[in-house]
């Protein structure tokens, strides 16, 4: 078996793309999207029609409303290819707005329902801010499943578990990027590879915490920079992987063995984090606080660029 097929024996493979034409060749279970991926997709000629259709079908609608219809249109097309779920991200400008996030998420679910997509096949993505996590808590109570993204540390993961979210997406590659940049010329790529990669170590810590305490929230490692990071996390509940790395794994014969597992023993969970404890832990982690802020800013920038494209078609 190639490395991708071996990986599937230990981990559920998810495609990290808005390019649904690429999905069939990799047969992932689920797919994830974000504002950056959708923006990248609609700039390609073969996806331009989805953008034009979203604008034409909703004359007089706000750019935000058209953007929501476009995101759902991508999700609907993706669900024609994958048998499982699609993750659709809400407006990142609502990352610190709990009520606004809940309202937007419910609207997206209604749009999916209008397209005959049951809510069980949709995960609403929210940033792992305190406000985003509390929005997820309320959505889960309403039967809307959530995917908490831009997650960089155990404190965020603990708060997500406290809120009963369906799934978290800890970002391997962006953690790796931060530590590599901070180390500068002292960075030793070989010494920091595989299980020593700081992004890998972060996911392992979160995975072990969840399993040790019997937490049901799914761990989906995300944001990979190389296949070595993926192989080092074989056994994680899920991994969302870009098409180029899926292709690399499919073409490789590198052995993939289970690295993450749990012996089944369960310990009592620690007390739920308070908002002040969460904020203090995040503030004390320079990497996590910086990458969370940077990630939100980038998604906002790409959302605004997407809205500019919509305005240009609205005339």
Q: List the structure tokens of 224.
A: 């990979």
What would the DSSP string read from start to end of 110-166? HHHHHTT--GGGEEEEEESSHHHHHHHHHHHHTT--EEEEEE-SHHHHHHHHHHT-S
Q: List the structure tokens of 262.
A: 């749990």
Q: Do 309 and 40 meet the contact criterion of CB atoms below 8 Å apart? A: no
- Distance in angstroms (rounded) separating the CA atoms of residues 100 and 74: 22
- Distance in angstroms (rounded) separating the CA atoms of residues 121 and 264: 29
Active site residue 180: no
In sequence order, what are the residues at sequence separation of 6 or more whose Cβ sits closer than 8 angstroms to the Cβ of residue 18? 33, 37, 38, 40, 41, 47, 74, 78
In sequence order, what are the residues at sequence separation of 6 or more whose Cβ sits closer than 8 angstroms to the Cβ of residue 231? 3, 7, 194, 254, 256, 259
Chain CA centroid to CA 252, Å: 25
Catalytic residue selected from 40, 80, 125, 297? 125
Active site residues: 125
């Amino acid at each position: 078996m190639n490395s991708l097929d071996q990986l599937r024996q230990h981990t559920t493979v998810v495609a990290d793309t808005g390019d649904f034409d690429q999905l069939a060749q990799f047969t992932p279970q689920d797919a994830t999207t974000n504002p950056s991926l959708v923006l990248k997709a609609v700039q390609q000629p073969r996806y331009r029609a989805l953008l034009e259709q979203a604008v034409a079908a909703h004359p007089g609608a706000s750019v935000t409303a058209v953007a929501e219809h476009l995101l759902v249109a991508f999700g609907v097309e993706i669900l024609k290819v994958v048998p499982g779920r699609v993750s659709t991200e809400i407006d990142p400008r609502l990352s610190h707005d709990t009520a606004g996030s809940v309202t937007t998420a419910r609207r997206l679910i209604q749009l999916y329902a209008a397209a005959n997509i049951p809510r069980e096949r949709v995960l609403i993505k929210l940033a792992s801010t305190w406000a985003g996590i509390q929005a997820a808590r309320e959505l889960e109570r309403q039967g809307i499943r959530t995917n908490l993204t831009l997650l960089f540390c155990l404190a965020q993961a603990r708060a997500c578990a406290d809120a009963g979210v369906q799934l978290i997406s800890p970002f391997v590659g962006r953690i790796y990027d931060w530590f590599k940049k901070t180390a500068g010329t002292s960075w030793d790529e070989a010494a920091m590879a595989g299980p020593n990669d700081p992004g890998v170590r972060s996911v392992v810590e979160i995975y072990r915490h969840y399993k040790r305490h019997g937490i049901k929230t799914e761990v989906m490692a995300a944001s990979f920079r190389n296949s070595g990071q993926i192989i080092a996390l074989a056994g994680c509940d899920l991994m969302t992987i870009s098409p180029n790395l899926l292709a690399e794994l499919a073409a490789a014969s590198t052995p993939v063995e289970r690295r993450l597992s749990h012996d089944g023993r369960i310990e009592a969970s620690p007390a739920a984090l308070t908002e002040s404890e969460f904020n203090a832990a995040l503030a004390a982690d320079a990497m996590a606080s910086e990458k969370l802020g940077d990630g939100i800013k980038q998604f906002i920038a790409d959302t605004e660029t997407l809205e500019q494209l919509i305005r240009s078609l609205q005339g």
